[in-house]
């Protein structure tokens, strides 16, 4: 259970709502922005990219300017096998030891998952804009559900220290060990088969070196707080593209850089005891039978080339996607794939990973998987209409292979814009099953958040 008292402990970093002012970590400017352009006391409006200015604490550096906001979606362009396409536990666990051996077993066991003040602020602001009392109350409860914090630009990394410091103070005051969940998401030429999530670094413009500096800055923050456990999802979408989308020229060009950068990331994060799950797409992407062996080969080779880092725990699936962990019946769009949900995918992939010496444990994103049978095609990923919040984070997963159900995607943050004139426009965001009009990727999508709340299954 995720206790409300934990959220109260964060009150010092969650803003009060002020009329005509953007909240801490809220949007305060950018091309097409029509909302508040000033920030609450204690925050300043800083440019992350031309489309997204954000209210950040004064200590947050913006020496790196981003070219995109987080998209957090899993989107296959092709498959090789089809033409269609808080947790908390009462048991004990040893602390993460940056210079020692990782704790045996599930890293979530015995830990409470830290509530992101960034997302809590977004939810508080969104709930304040809902007039129906029952819906407002449900929306407010979302702030008590732990999500991952995405570090999709180098400029955001200094805030990690703030979160770790707060988690350490909470751990000391409550006696409850804390996990801080993060997403490492800033590869050069990131997510090479899609436009909405294009990142700030370019391979052609010193991107590999910039990425390594980004990783070094994360490591430096984590190193300051060795008693707080950190769990990271590593680079959503990008590795899966190396399995299925090398026919896309940008992906082919990025392959060497991706492998070098991810190898560096897992080697360095391992030195400070960060538990890592490499992103492995989802059932509708790498779950096709013909994709399973190539995927297992990619992950195992990457792992071994990095000297088998002890803190690589396994893989993350369904990040920012909509698949059920265990579907009652196959969605019609999955026809032809026996691995029609995440547990079938995991059960099919795990033995192949184990045969090659890769640690086959998983976390599964169910943040937007509450409603099934709502897509026209399995590859549709952008702001799907009628989606609802899904199963709350828990270690009671029903599978020894799955460490935890998690919410990696912060529900309400947009997947991509439906504005075809935007430089980051992806046509997937204008399909008939995509909610429109939609703002820029990573910015708040109020109408979509409200739908996630009202369609939540189980109900909030």
Q: Give me the active site residues, please.
A: 191, 237, 415
DSSP H stretches of helix in 279-398: 289-305, 342-355
Task: Say if residue 85 carries a ligand binding annotation.
Answer: no
Q: Strand (E) positions, 8-148?
A: 27-29, 44-49, 52-56, 112-113
Secondary structure of residue 126 in the 3-state scheme: helix
- Sequence-distant (6+) residues with CB within 8 A of 211 are 186, 187, 188, 201, 261, 264, 265
Distance CA 57, CA 439 (A): 24
Q: Concatenate the DSSP letters of all residues of 252-264 into one string.
A: HHHHHHHHHHHHH
Distance CA 28, CA 53 (A): 5
Task: Say if residue 260 carries a ligand binding annotation.
Answer: no
- Angle between helix 158-174 and 207-223 (nearest 10): 20
Distance CA 150, CA 155 (A): 12
Q: Strand (E) positions, 366-409?
A: 402-406
Q: How many CB atoms lie within 10 A of CB 433?
A: 16
Task: Say if residue 288 carries a ligand binding annotation.
Answer: no
Place of tokens 């413009």: 205
Task: Say if residue 378 carries a ligand binding annotation.
Answer: no
Q: Which two tokens stand for residue 389?
A: 């919040």
Task: Say if residue 150 carries a ligand binding annotation.
Answer: yes
Task: Say if residue 64 carries a ligand binding annotation.
Answer: no
Distances (CA, A) of 43 to 22, 54, 75, 127, 369: 9, 9, 35, 21, 34
Task: Say if residue 282 carries a ligand binding annotation.
Answer: yes
Q: Which two tokens stand for residue 308?
A: 């088998």
Residue 85 DSSP class: -
Distances (CA, A) of 253 to 203, 235, 238, 258: 9, 17, 13, 10
Residue 110's φ and ψ, nearest 5 degrees, are 85, 5
For the annotated binding site for substrate, the residues are 150, 152, 282, 285, 321, 381, 409, 413
For the annotated binding site, the residues are 150, 152, 282, 285, 321, 381, 409, 413
């Amino acid at each position: 259970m995720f206790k409300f008292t934990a959220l109260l402990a964060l009150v010092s970093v969650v803003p009060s709502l002020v009329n005509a002012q953007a909240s801490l970590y809220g949007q305060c400017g950018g091309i097409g922005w029509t909302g508040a352009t000033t920030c609450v006391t204690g925050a300043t409006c800083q440019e992350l990219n031309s489309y997204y200015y954000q209210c950040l604490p004064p200590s947050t550096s913006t020496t790196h300017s981003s070219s995109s906001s987080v998209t957090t979606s899993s989107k296959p362009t092709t498959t090789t096998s089809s033409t269609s396409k808080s947790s908390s536990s009462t048991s004990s666990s040893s602390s993460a030891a940056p210079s020692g051996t990782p704790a045996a077993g599930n890293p979530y066991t015995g830990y409470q998952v830290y509530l992101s003040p960034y997302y809590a602020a977004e939810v508080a602001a969104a709930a304040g804009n809902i007039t129906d009392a029952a819906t407002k109350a449900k929306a407010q409860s979302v702030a008590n559900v732990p999500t991952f914090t995405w570090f999709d630009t180098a400029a955001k990394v200094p805030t990690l220290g703030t979160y770790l410091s707060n988690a350490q103070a909470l751990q000391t005051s409550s006696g409850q060990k804390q996990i801080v969940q993060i997403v490492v998401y800033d590869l050069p030429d990131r997510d090479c088969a899609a436009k909405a999530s294009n990142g700030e670094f370019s391979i052609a413009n010193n991107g590999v070196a910039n990425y390594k500096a980004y990783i070094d800055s994360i490591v430096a923050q984590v190193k300051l707080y060795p008693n707080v456990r950190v769990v990271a999802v590593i680079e959503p979408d990008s590795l899966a593209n190396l399995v299925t989308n090398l026919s896309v020229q940008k992906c082919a060009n990025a392959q060497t850089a991706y492998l070098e950068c991810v190898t560096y990331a897992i080697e360095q994060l391992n030195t400070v005891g960060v538990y890592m799950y490499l992103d492995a797409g989802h059932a509708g992407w790498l779950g096709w039978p013909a994709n399973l062996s190539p995927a297992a080969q990619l992950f195992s080779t990457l792992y071994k080339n990095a000297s088998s880092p002890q803190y690589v725990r396994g893989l993350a699936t369904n990040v920012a996607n909509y698949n059920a962990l265990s579907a009652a019946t196959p969605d019609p769009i999955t026809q032809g794939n026996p691995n029609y949900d995440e547990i079938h995918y995991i059960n099919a992939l795990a033995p192949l990973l184990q045969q090659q010496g890769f640690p086959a444990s998983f976390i599964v994103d169910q943040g937007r998987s509450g409603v099934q049978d709502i897509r026209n095609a399995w590859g549709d990923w952008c702001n799907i209409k009628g989606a609802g919040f899904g199963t709350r984070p828990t270690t009671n997963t029903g599978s020894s292979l799955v460490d935890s159900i998690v919410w990696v995607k912060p529900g309400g943050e947009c997947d991509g814009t439906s504005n075809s004139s935007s430089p980051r426009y992806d046509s997937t965001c204008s399909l008939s099953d995509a909610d429109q009009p939609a703002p820029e990727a990573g910015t708040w999508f109020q109408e979509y958040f409200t739908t996630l709340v009202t369609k939540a299954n189980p109900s909030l």
